[in-house]
Structure 1
């Protein structure tokens, strides 16, 4: 079974969010199950800079993109048992950032077209093309339009995964023929609400549609979550599957993490206190072994539930807690939390930048991890937190609902504390319940043990993907 992941990101080569984590982990797990899964990425400048000695040039070719004929170099290397291909075109990819340019539509139209053009040139005969997000959404679109009837491509099957339906790849209608080279007669494949919508096109043309949790697969059929595509999702629900993401449990492992002060495991959880002390010292918090530390790590945006936190922040700080935030985002959110750090000296720490090393130390030193997301397709941070024995307080949405089971004191089952509605005081109530449980050390240690025993590896999810691929190839 030969699977080619076509993606704009894959850890450790290129990452701006959860997509990079997934594509960096899943292919290797599939290979352990007997598949031959490979990855195709744009050759960004940092990849060339860091991996120059390992990259091998396979060949060079030209790629037709409407009236343009563009150069494409194909490089390869092997990383942790996974073969990767990198498509080179400096006009499109020699940029300081992955996204955010006026010609993003053209850049990733080229990448999608090039991915198909180079397939016959590879030392690999793909059977399934697995694409993700709007950046590679044109692969199934091109396959069903421009390559229809081409015998070299007839046997290919496509999977398209939605990681976040909010980012759809919407562009001016003029792009259809001028950039994509798709005829006016095929406009209906991509046209939606007066724009060319890359994601809509992929939903319609792919053979199987997946998203990153079963709850999110249900949610996006409703207007609140579907971001305008809910009707298209409903029309294509017969091919929709929700498969929860996993995490790299070797990378996120407190017994081996070089970034934390003292390594520990579920069998030596008493050592976690040393990381708490070190975190308090690093962040300028008052030294206090007993006080619970509530942490947030992530983007400061509306759909992350930041407004809920702001609404009741003063009430939260009336509790005997310390609060730690690491992340960047919208200016009004950054300004608010920076102001709170100044107001609650020694109790609130705010870092409006991102550091993976500091994130590890926060996971290792905090007691509670707050994720009040309005929408969360999957979420990985709550899984990482539990690996470190830091208990999540989450809203029951998307992957948060699928991965965090509310703790039941009666049966002593569950690995976190949850709340249901998009309501600041419901969130506050969940935080207060969590704090009450924290002060009962016997119960708290039970929750920690439950959490650290939860399997968030890719084992179960990779088996689900294998079953999906096999079904497609029947």
Structure 2
């Protein structure tokens, strides 16, 4: 059994802005089920403290600032969690990274440096917890200072750094680096410096014992000029330490056979019940009852990465092709407004909810025929897996984790019973429309459509297999850490 400190800026259900929140709850849960002593550290945002039961408090001091750790368990699990309490986290409502005007909080560097320093002190058992991990698992730029801050610590634990999205790098000016009081040797192109800025994510990529991304295809893509976001050279240099491990999903929380949030529960033996969810979803989005039309949906961030611009441009052709559209999400105000304009132009055929609603997301997955995910890049993606589980056929671009989790409904895969969705290549509205039209051809053949749905519903997207792959990664990181210490010791003795 390994002692693992898992550090993340968000953990569902305490905080969630995207897939990171889901993963930071589900993966520790899966590791815990495999007998690992895993404990989670995350900031205490807003009212998250009230969601924890059986808590105790510990006071720690960071850079002369008094902070508190509140201990409990992730709700509905037995996984221990520490919430880092500080006014810069806990006295701000809403998004953990963005101010109400949509711009990043001006003190994000200081806020997440607090988190990283607290993680280092916990990892070195300096805060009175009486527990020291063998490995610290860091996630995305918000935790990127942990590996470099641990680098010079004696008897340090091993580190793993997971890249959930290369596009978010935690870039700050040099004066912020100075203000954080970081060791001066970290200001170097071989450390945190990135084109005269400080890069949090680079700290994780340079100094961690092992790196991984959240799908095998994305691990290859980020080593290319197209997807590497300027760090592809570093990633190619570390390719022997880089691995792609596909995200899983919480198949208990996302299960149409037991989901309390949907209109009618169903499984592969009672798939006809899905129609009741479609009727309820149409009513909820004020869509016409149109038996001849397929219901396509989109849930997520309304930004170009997710291809929302392709969907918006394709709306007239999608309506003409014979679909209705329901959208749940928030993001770029330009696309929010264009979607709302489309509702007025096509009343009863398009419904839009701006914002995020976890319960509604379940109802959308349960009631839809098609799930649109035309991402320009997609490290892993979860909604295409949720969709298949709920008998909703995903229409996705062949990138990242989408390529790893959806089998295209080409003639060979359809014949062999492997098909579970529709894939397309080019990030254009016309390619998306053609993919939807391909889906509609199958949709109008009830037996073939049901076979496509059932294939997706029977796929295993649970965390069980992925959690075992993480244990292998942890073992490699610990071994690498031990070898580095031995090498450093031998160098010191000579």
- The TM-score with structure 1 as length reference comes to 0.94
Distance in 2, matches of 1:422 and 1:91, equals 39
Unmatched segments (≥5 aa) in structure 1: none
Shift of 1:90: 2.2
| Alignment CA distance shift 1:89-1:294 (3 Å) | same
Structure 2 unmatched runs, 5+: 99-104, 480-494
Q: Does 1:372 align with 2:374?
A: yes
SS at match of 1:463: helix
In structure 2, the partner of 1:99 is 97
Q: Which residue of 1 is the match for residue 72 of structure 2?
A: 77
Moved more, 95-104 or 380-389: 95-104
What SS does structure 1 have at the residue aligned with 2:415? Answer: coil
CA distance in structure 2 between the partners assigned to 1:354 and 1:267 by the alignment: 31
What is the alpha-carbon distance in structure 2 between the residues aligned to residue 54 and residue 401 of structure 1? 43
What secondary structure is seen at the aligned counterpart in 1 of 2:251?
Answer: coil
Aligned counterpart for 2:429 among listed residues 416, 424, 427: 424
1:328 Cα deviation from its structure 2 partner: 1.2
- The answer to whether the aligner puts 1:468 opposite 2:465 as a matched pair is no
What do the CA deviations read for 1:178-226 (whole angstroms, capped 9, x no partner)? 2142215643310011100110121001100011101111111112211
Mapping 1:118-137, distance limit 5 Å: 118-119=122-123, 120=125, 121-137=128-144
Whether the 8 Å contact between 1:277 and 1:288 is mirrored in structure 2 is no
Distance, in Å, in 2 between the alignment partners of 1:180 and 1:436 is 61
SS of the residue 2:188 aligns to: helix
Q: CA deviation at 1:278?
A: 1.2
Matched, 1:17 2:22: no
| Residue 387 (structure 1) shift | 1.1
1:40-51 matches, within 5 Å, as: 40-51=41-52
Q: 1:114 pairs with 115, 118, 127, which one? A: 118
Question: SS of 2:120's equivalent?
Answer: helix
> Could you tell me which residue of structure 2 aligns to residue 55 of structure 1?
55
Cα distance in structure 1, aligned partners of 2:60 and 2:478: 30
More displaced stretch, 90-99 vs 248-257:
90-99
**Corresponding residue for 1:36?**
37
Contact kept in structure 2, 1:337 and 1:350, CA below 8 Å: yes
Find the partner of 1:350 among 341, 349, 352: 352
Equivalent-residue separation in structure 1 for 2:172 and 2:390 (angstroms): 42
Instruction: Check whether the contact 1:262–1:274 (CA below 8 A) recurs between aligned residues.
Output: yes
Number of residue pairs matched by the alignment: 462
Other-structure match for 2:150:
143
Displacement of 1:312 in angstroms is 2.5
Q: Hey, what does 1:208 align to over in structure 2?
A: 210
Which residue of structure 2 lines up, in the alignment, with residue 7 of structure 1? 8
Q: Which moved more, 1:160-169 or 1:7-16?
A: 7-16
Question: Equivalent residue of 2:355, what SS?
Answer: coil
Structure-2 change in CA distance of 1:399 and 1:55 (3 Å): same
Q: The residue matched to 2:321 in structure 1 has which SS?
A: coil
Question: Does residue 441 of structure 1 match 2:446?
Answer: yes
Aligned-residue CA RMSD in angstroms?
1.5
**Residues 319 and 185 of structure 1, relative CA distance in 2, 3 Å threshold:** closer
**2: CA distance, partners of 1:141 / 1:93:** 26
Do structure 1's residue 88 and structure 2's residue 89 form an aligned pair?
Answer: no
Task: Please list, as runs of the form range in 1=range in 2, the aligned pairs for 1:124-203 lying within 5 A after superposition.
Answer: 124-144=131-151, 148=152, 150-151=153-154, 154-184=155-185, 186-188=187-189, 189-203=191-205
8 A Cα contact 2:161 2:210, kept in partner: yes
Indicate conservation of the 8 Å contact 1:276/1:289, yes or no. Answer: no
Q: CA–CA distance in 1 between the matches of 2:122 and 2:478?
A: 22
Residue of 391, 394, 413 corresponding to 2:418: 413
Deviations 1:414-462 (A, max 9, x none): 1111101222222211110000000001100100110000111101100
Provide TM-score, normalisation by structure 2.
Answer: 0.91
Counterpart Cα distance in 1 of 2:418 and 2:323: 25
Does structure 2 conserve the Cα–Cα contact (< 8 Å) formed by 1:176 and 1:182? no
Deviation at 1:123, TM superposition (A): 3.2
